[in-house]
């Protein structure tokens, strides 16, 4: 019981909250939002203490989180190696969420729609064509070098071109994300199929599978793990591409938000936007992980 109250993360939490009330020598926003965030972390910490089911070292992790918060706060308010407008205190950054939440929610839905469309299409066609090309030796050998070259071009390089040429921003973003996801997925998928254990293929062949069954009931599930694992990387990549595209040709979206306010030198909003994107990407990754756990029972079982 005593261990639940007296421990390093709790101590650091109290210190962080105390410091948030101290006033610097400039005008500061209300610390309420910041304290709420700290408290959410504290609740998560208490939960891990009480239920003790998290593996790893949750105490260390929460100590580090609170320590970073304290350092950030102290630096921005009192040490001030950077001016507070350039490196704003967490109180100001988090209070942005209470002011701008409507724009943020709108931006979130705008961006997430484009990402789902682009990544979905890119993954679907990449996996599908990858299976077909990977399975056909001649197609694989003749196309692989070409696809490798195309896949090596970062989508960011041609994003401005697509944005300029496409009829509207929506299609431009989807096309760019699609291309940026499709080619790497295709390349990996061809490699995955080529690397499927020959013994598995032999045993499948000896069951007299049709080509359709061979591709979709044997190769696809056998390659499913790397595909789902790569989904997380692909979504981060899609966010990068989208942010880039949004900075060129959009007037809404999460990337646009960050870009716009950094050109106005409103770094509080820039920080808030970056944190929001991090939260969104992390949330998506957790969703993928849950999905992975459901479909991939047989690998961990």
Partner 1 sequence: MPDIDVKNVSFEYEYENKKYLALDNVSLRIQDGEFVCIIGQSGCGKSTLITLMEGLQKPLAGQILIGDKNVDGPGKDRCMVFQHYSLFAWLTAKRNVIFGIKQVYPKMPKKDLDRIATDYLHKVGLEGYENKYPRQLSGGQQQRVAIARSLAMNPDILLMDEPFGAVDTKTRTELQDLLLDLCRNEEKKRTVVFITHDVDEALYLADRIIFMQPKKIRRDIQTNFGKVRKRDELTSSPEYQSLRRELIGLFYERVRDEIAEEGVYI
Interacting stretch for partner 1, rule CB under 8 A, among 40-48, 179-187, 218-226, 280-288?
218-226
Question: Could you say whether residue 294 binds partner 1 (CB under 8 A)?
Answer: no
CA distance 285 to 195: 27
Interacting stretch for partner 1, rule CB under 8 A, among 45-53, 69-77, 139-147, 212-220?
212-220
Question: Could you say whether residue 297 binds partner 1 (CB under 8 A)?
Answer: yes
Count of residues in contact with partner 1, rule CB under 8 A: 20
HSE (CB half, 13 Å, CA atoms) of 245? 34
Interacting stretch for partner 1, rule CB under 8 A, among 214-222, 237-245, 255-263, 275-283?
214-222
Q: Is 265 helix (H, G, I), strand (E, B) or coil?
A: coil
CA distance 54 to 246: 38
Question: Could you say whether residue 299 binds partner 1 (CB under 8 A)?
Answer: yes
Interacting stretch for partner 1, rule CB under 8 A, among 62-70, 152-160, 211-219, 286-294?
211-219
Instruction: Report the alpha-carbon angle 219-222-226, nearest 5.
Output: 115
From the CB of 214, what's the least distance to partner 1, in Å?
Answer: 11
From the CB of 300, what's the least distance to partner 1, in Å?
Answer: 9
Q: 115 near 173, Cβ under 8 Å?
A: no
Question: Of 53 and 198, which has the nearer Cβ to partner 1?
Answer: 198
Question: Of 206 and 251, which has the nearer Cβ to partner 1?
Answer: 206
Contacts of 33 (CB under 8 A, 6+ apart): 91, 94, 95, 97, 98
Q: Which of 145, 199, 251, 294 binds partner 1 (CB under 8 A)?
A: 199
Alpha helices for 22-154 (secondary structure H): 32-51, 58-74, 90-135, 137-152
Q: Which of 51, 208, 251, 294 binds partner 1 (CB under 8 A)?
A: 208
Question: Could you say whether residue 82 binds partner 1 (CB under 8 A)?
Answer: no
Residue 77 to residues 24, 66, 92, 270: CA-CA distances in angstroms?
5, 16, 11, 18
From the CB of 96, what's the least distance to partner 1, in Å?
Answer: 46
Q: How far apart are the first and last CA of the chain?
A: 35
From the CB of 210, what's the least distance to partner 1, in Å?
Answer: 9
From the CB of 193, what's the least distance to partner 1, in Å?
Answer: 16
**Burial of residue 79, with CB atoms counted within 10 A of its CB: 0-12 exposed, 13-18 middle, 19 or more buried:** exposed
From the CB of 221, what's the least distance to partner 1, in Å?
Answer: 4
Question: Could you say whether residue 203 binds partner 1 (CB under 8 A)?
Answer: yes
Q: Taking the CA atoms of 279, 283, 286 and 292 in sequence, report the sign of the dihedral they define.
A: negative
CA distance 118 to 231: 12
CA distance 66 to 18: 12
Q: Which of 224, 228, 274, 281 binds partner 1 (CB under 8 A)?
A: 224
From the CB of 196, what's the least distance to partner 1, in Å?
Answer: 12
Q: Taking the CA atoms of 287, 292, 297 and 301 in sequence, report the sign of the dihedral they define.
A: negative
Question: Could you say whether residue 282 binds partner 1 (CB under 8 A)?
Answer: no
Question: Could you say whether residue 212 binds partner 1 (CB under 8 A)?
Answer: no
Question: Could you say whether residue 51 binds partner 1 (CB under 8 A)?
Answer: no
- Write out the residues near partner 1 by the rule CB under 8 A: 199-200, 202-209, 213, 217-218, 221-222, 224, 297-299, 301
């Amino acid at each position: 019981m005593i261990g639940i109250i007296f421990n390093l993360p709790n101590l650091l939490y109290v210190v962080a909250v105390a410091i948030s009330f101290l006033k610097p020598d400039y005008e500061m926003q209300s610390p309420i939002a910041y304290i709420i965030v700290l408290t959410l972390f504290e609740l998560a910490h208490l939960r891990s203490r009480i239920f003790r089911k998290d593996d790893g070292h949750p105490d260390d992790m929460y100590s580090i989180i609170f320590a970073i918060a304290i350092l950030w706060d102290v630096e921005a308010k009192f040490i001030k190696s950077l001016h507070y407008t350039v490196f704003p205190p967490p109180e100001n950054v988090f209070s942005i969420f209470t002011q701008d939440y409507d724009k943020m929610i709108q931006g979130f839905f705008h961006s997430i729609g484009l990402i789902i469309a682009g990544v979905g299409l890119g993954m679907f066609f990449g996996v599908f064509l990858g299976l077909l090309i990977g399975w056909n030796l001649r197609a694989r050998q003749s196309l692989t070098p070409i696809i490798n070259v195309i896949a090596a071009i970062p989508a960011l390089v041609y994003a401005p071109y697509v944005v300029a040429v496409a009829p509207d921003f929506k299609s431009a973003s989807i096309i760019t994300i699609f291309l940026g996801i499709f080619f790497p997925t295709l390349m990996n998928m061809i490699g995955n199929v080529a690397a499927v254990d020959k013994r598995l293929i032999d045993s499948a062949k000896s069951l007299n599978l049709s080509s359709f069954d061979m591709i979709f009931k044997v190769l696809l599930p056998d390659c499913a793990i790397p595909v789902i694992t790569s989904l997380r990387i692909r979504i981060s990549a899609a966010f990068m591409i989208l942010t880039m595209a949004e900075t060129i040709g959009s007037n809404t979206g999460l990337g646009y938000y960050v870009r716009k306010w950094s050109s106005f030198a409103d770094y509080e909003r820039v920080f808030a936007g970056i944190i929001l994107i991090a939260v969104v990407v992390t949330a998506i990754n957790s969703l993928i992980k849950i999905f992975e756990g459901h479909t991939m029972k047989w690998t961990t079982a």
